[in-house]
Chains A and B, each alone.
Chain A
Amino acid sequence: MYKIILAIRYLLRRRITYFAVLAVALCVFIVVVVMTVVTGLVGDFKRKSHNFVGDCVVGTESLVGFAYYEDFIKMLEQAHFVEGVSPVIKSYALVSREQTEQNAGLEIMGIDPVRHSGVTGFGKTLYHRKDDVAKAFVPAYDVNLPGCVVGIDLWLIRTGKSGYLYEDTPAEVAFVVSCFPLTAKGAPAKAGAGEVNTKTFYYSDTSHSGLAHVDSSLVYLPFEQAQWLCGMAGPDKRASAIHIKFRPNVKLQVGCERIALLWQRFKQEKAGEKQANLLDIVTVQSWKDYRRASIAAMEKEQTMMTVMFGLVGITTVFVVLVVFYMIVSHKSKDIGILKSIGVSNANIIQLFSGFAILVGLLGSGVGAFAGWLFLLKINRIEDLLFEHFGFQLWDRTIYAIGDIPNQVELKVLAVIIASAIAACLAGAVLPSWRAAKLEPVETLQVSQL
C-alpha cells in the first residue's frame, strides 16, 4: 500500500515529475498521430490490393499465358473451399482514341465482369454500372457496341479532395485496341500478315480501384475479345491467370496451400499434353504475395518510421532518468526511513518502478487522448488549411488518397502505450538501483538531516 501512496505523493508533490509526464505525452501524441495515419494508409492499400486481386492467383507473368485453364477451373469449382473463380487475360496493347494519331502502350485485362466481381471488388469500382455489373461492357449510349472499362485516371481528371469530375452518362468515345498476338511458343503470330489484332471498343465505364498504377494504366475488356486480341483463343485456349475467392471460413494460408496441391495434381494429369510446358511457369500466390512488391515497400516505410521514432524516443528515456535521479536524490531520507523499518531493496525498486509505470500511464493517457482528439479533427483541419492556405498534407491530384486515415487501431495504441511505459521503466532503472543501494545509516545521519 505504501508503494502506491508514495508513488502518488511523488507524482503530485514533485512538480519536476510533470516534465517527465509532458515528455512522454508529447512523444505518445506524435507517435499515435503518425502511426495511425501511416497504419491507415498501409491498411487501406492492402484492402484495395485484396479487392483488386481476390484471395489467390494461379497465373504466369509470361504474356503467352497457359493452356487448359478451363479444366482447372472445373476442378476448382468442385472444391468445397472455393467460392468463386475468374479467368483473366493480361497483356499489353497499343490503345488509341479513334480519329486521332495518338497511341499509348497500356495494360489490358480481359475479364468476365460478373465472375470477376464475384471474386474481386471489381463491380464496386465501377461508376455507371455499379449496380448492374453484367452490363459493365455495355455502353449506355448503344447497347449493341462492344464496351471497355478504363482505369479512372486514364479518363477523368482527379480534383482536390472531392475525387473526380464524373460525367452523368458515359461519353461516346471509341478506343482502337491493338495487340500483338503470340503463339504458344511465344513467337509473334500472323508473322507474315504484318498486322496486329485490332478491335474497336467503346467507352462504357470507369474503374476506380484506388491503386494508382492500376487506375492509370489498365483497360478492362470482355474476356473472349481480349483472348482473341492476344492470340490466346483457338482450339487450345489460353489464359494469363485465374483469380480465386475462398469461402469466408477458409484461412488464406490454408486455402492457398490447398490450391497449390490441386495445381500439382492438375499438372501431373496434363503432363503428356501438347502445351504442358506452359504449366511449368505457373505459380500459385496469395494476394499478399501477388502484390508483395508494392505492399512490402509500404510496410518497410512503416518499419523505418517506427525505428526513427524509437531513436527520438530515447530522449524521453533520458528525461525520465533525470527526473527520477532528482527525486531519488531529494527523497534519500524517505528511502532511508523505509529501509530502516525493514523494507527490502527489491521493494524500493518496486516503489520506483511503480512510480515509473504511473508516469508512463499518465503521460501516454494524456498523449493518446490528445492524439485521438487531433485525429478526430485532422480532416477538418486539412480542409481549413486547404481553404485558407491551399495546403494539403498530400496533393490529391498526385496521390490516390481520399481522406486522411484517422481511425485509431486499438492494437497500435496498446503497443504505443506499452512502449511508453517500457521507456519510463528503462529510464527509472538506474535511479531505482541507486535508491535501493542507499544505506539508511548514511542518509539518516544527523549531519544529513
Chain B
Amino acid sequence: MLKLFLWLRYLRKKRIVLLSITAVALSVALLITVASLFNSFIDAFEQSAAETIGDVILAPPIRFEKYQLLIKRLEQISTIEGATATLSAPGLLHFGKGNVRAVVIWGIEPERRAKVTGFKQFLHKQSQLPGEPSLEVAGQPEAIGGFVGIGVVAEPDEKTDEYDFQTAEKLIGQQVVLTTAAVSKTQEHKDTTAQIKRKTIKFTIADIVFTGAYHVDKTFVYLPIEKLQKTLYTNSEEPLADQIQIKLTSESQVDAALAQIRGIWQLFAAEQLGWEPYLINRTAIITSKKMQSPLVAEFRKQMGLLLMIFGVVSFSVILLIFCIFYMIVITRQKDIAIIKSCGGTSSSVGWIFVGFGGCIGIIGSALGAILGYIITKNINTLEEWIRIIFGLKLWKSSVYLFSKIPNEVDWDWALLIVVFAVMAAAIGALAPAIVAAKTRPVEILRYE
C-alpha cells in the first residue's frame, strides 16, 4: 500500500517522470510500428504469391499434354481443393500509334483459376458480379476475350501512385493486338534447331486485373488457355500446359500433400506422357511460400537488424530512467530515511524504486503500444498526409510491390517489445534503488 501511495505521489509530483514515460512510449511505438510493418509486408508478400499462383506449383521443364487428366487425378486427393493449368509466353501488346508494351501472356482457365487463387476479386468489373469469372465478350460469342493487368494499360499517377480506373474501364470491350512467338524444334538432317514463328492474336479486353502487386499488374495479360495453345502450337492436337497451380485444403499437411502430388505426377508423366525419369525428376513441385522463402528470409533479417539498431539506440531510455530515478532518490532522501526509521527494510525501499521503474515501463509501453497501433493502422493515411503537406510520396507500388502499405499490427512482436520495455525500465531503476536502499536514516534525519 505504501509503495502504491509513493508511486502515485511521485507520478503526480515529479513531473520529470513524465519524460521517462514519454521516452519509453516513443521507443515502444517505434519498435512496434517497425516490426508490424515489416511483418505485414512479409505476410502480404507470401499471401500475394498464394493468391497469384496458388499454394503449390507443379512446373515441369517442358510443356506437357493431357493436363486435364492430371488435374482430374489431382482433384481426387482429399488434400487438394482445386488445380488449374497455365500456358505462358512472352509477347508485345500493341495499343496502336506506337504504343507497344512488353508483357507475359498467361493462358488460363478462368473458372478453375478463381477456385485456386483469389483471381475473381482482382477483376475490376466481374468481381462485383455473381457467378464465375469469364473471358467471354458480351454479345460477341466468337471473339477472343482477355484480361489485362491495370499496369499494362496505365501507369500509376506520379503523385498519388493510384491508377486511373475510369480511363482503364473505357478500354473494356476494345480490341487490341498481341504479338507473340512460338518456338518449335525442327529436325534437319541430324541437327535439331529451334524455329521461331510470329503469331498475332487479336482479342477484346473483357476486364481489367488489379491485384495490388505492381509487377503482376504491369506484366500479365490473360487469355483462354485453349485459344493461346491453338495459336502458338497449331500442330498439337492435345491441350497443352506448362504449369499446374494447386490449392490445398485448409486442413491439409503441406509435406504430405506435396508427396501425394509428386506420386500422382510421376505416375502420370510415365504412363500418359511416356517421359524418362530424368525429365520427371526435373519437375519442380514446390509451395509458393517455399518459392519466396529466400527473399522472405532476407526481409526477416533486415527487420531483425533494424529492430536491433533501434533497440540499441533505445538503450538511452535505460540511461534516462537511471538519471531520473537517481535524481528522485537524491531529492527524496528524507522520505526514504523516514520509511527506514519506521522499520522499512533496505530491500523494501529498493523494491519501491524498482517497482516504480516497472510502473513507468508499463505505463510508457502501454501508451507506446496504443501509439504504435494507431500509427500502424493509419500508416496509409499518414503517408497520404505527408504527400499532401510535403509533396513527398514515400510509398510507391513500383518500388515496394504493393499499392497500399500492409498495416496489420503484429501482436506477438508487440508483446515481446512491451515485456522488454518494462524490463528495461526496471533495470534503469535498479542502481538508484540500490542507492536508496543504502541510505542511512541517521545521516539524513540529523537536525543540522
Contact = CB atoms under 8 A, between A and B. Distances in A.
Question: Are A and B physically bound partners?
Answer: yes
B19 interface: yes
Contact of B399 (A104, A297, A394, A399): A297
B310 A308 contact: yes
Interface string B292-329: 00110110010001000110111111011011101100
A283 to B, nearest CB: 14
A107 B316 CA distance: 51
A297 B326 contact: no
A322 B16 CA distance: 8
A19 B323 contact: yes
Contacts of A398: 294-295, 298
Contacts of A293: 398-399
Interface residue tally on A, bucketed by range: 35 or more
Given A318-B19, A319-B323, A300 B313 contact: no
B298 A394 contact: yes
B62 interface: yes
Interface stretch (A150-158, A190-198, A331-339, A351-359): A190-198
Interface string B213-236: 000000000000000000000000
B398 A196 contact: no
Contacts of A176: 194, 196
Residue of B192, B196, B394, B396 with most partner-chain A CB within 10 A: B196
Nearest to A179: B92
A318 B193 contact: no
Contact of B92 (A27, A107, A180, A322): A180
A101 interface: yes
B327 A26 contact: no
Given A23-B319, A196-B181, A186 B102 contact: no
A98 B297 CA distance: 36
A250 interface: no
Interface string A136-180: 000000000000000000000000000000000000000010101
Contacts, number: 168
A99 B193 contact: yes
Interface string A68-96: 00000000000000000000000010101
Given A19-B319, A309-B313, A180 B198 contact: yes
A16 B326 contact: yes
A313 B314 CA distance: 9
B197 A23 contact: no
Interface in A428-448: none
A101 B323 contact: no
Contacts of B313: 26-27, 30, 309, 312-313, 315
Nearest to A22: B319
A394 B300 CA distance: 11
In order of increasing CB-CB distance, the 8 nearest A-B pairs are: A186-B98, A105-B90, A92-B102, A64-B98, A297-B399, A315-B316, A196-B198, A322-B323
Interface of A: 16, 19-20, 22-23, 26-27, 30, 34, 62-64, 92, 94, 96, 98-105, 107, 176, 178, 180, 182, 185-188, 190-191, 194-196, 198, 293, 297, 300, 303-304, 308-309, 311-316, 318-319, 321-323, 325-326, 329, 393-395, 397-399
Given A318-B19, A326-B323, 8 more contacts: A16-B326, A19-B319, A23-B319, A176-B194, A178-B198, A188-B200, A196-B197, A297-B396
15 contacts: A23-B316, A26-B312, A62-B100, A94-B90, A96-B183, A105-B90, A182-B98, A194-B199, A196-B197, A293-B398, A309-B313, A314-B23, A315-B26, A319-B316, A321-B19
